[in-house]
Every structure is written in C-alpha cells, then in structure tokens.
Amino acid sequence: MCSVSTVIQVGMPSDKAQYIHRLGRTARAGKGGQGVLLLASFERNFLRELQDLPLREEVASDTASGGSVTAAMRKMNPITIATAYQV
C-alpha cells in the first residue's frame, strides 16, 4: 500500500468538498499528512469557503521570480484559462 504524506493542489478546486476529498488521500489507514493549496491572487476568494478549517496562509511574492508568473499569466489566452477551470 502506498502512503501519501503530502497533497499539493494547484489552482482553485471546484468547491470545498472537492478540496477536502483531495486532502483525504493523506489520511488513508489512519495516517496523517498535510496539504498545500497553491492559488493565484485572483483565486484567493476561495479561501472564504475554507474559513472554518484549520489553515495557515502564507503569501508568496511574485517578486522572487522577477514578476515572471504575472507576466506569463498576462500572455495567456483568457479562453484557455477559463477552459482549465471547467475541467
């Protein structure tokens, strides 16, 4: 049996239930683990749905990458971004 100790979710899940379901992968057979949720600044509103959960928020700055993440997002086709969230 494979043990999963950390689940990293990139991007906003469709809802709170999906977020919790994905985290459950770390709790198989009574084991514990941790989850990391990486959100873009425009996805931060999702945190309101999770406010009753024991979360620790850490804000990363795009300045560490020289603004490259923000610059890359500006170059993306908005339809591509919207489609990614429909999956």
pLDDT in tens, 34-78: 888 888 888 888 999 999 998 888 877 666 666 676 777 778 888
- The pLDDT of residue 52 is 94
- Give the integer Cα–Cα distance in Å for 66 and 30: 42
- Give the integer Cα–Cα distance in Å for 39 and 26: 20
- The pLDDT of residue 3 is 72
- The pLDDT of residue 1 is 54
pTM for the structure as a whole: 0.63
**Per-residue pLDDT reduced to its tens digit, 8-17:** 888 888 899 9
Helix, strand and coil in the chain, % to nearest 5:
55, 10, 35
- Give the integer Cα–Cα distance in Å for 20 and 34: 12
- The pLDDT of residue 33 is 81
Q: Which candidate, 10, 8, 6, places its Cα nearest to that of 85?
A: 10
- Give the integer Cα–Cα distance in Å for 28 and 69: 34
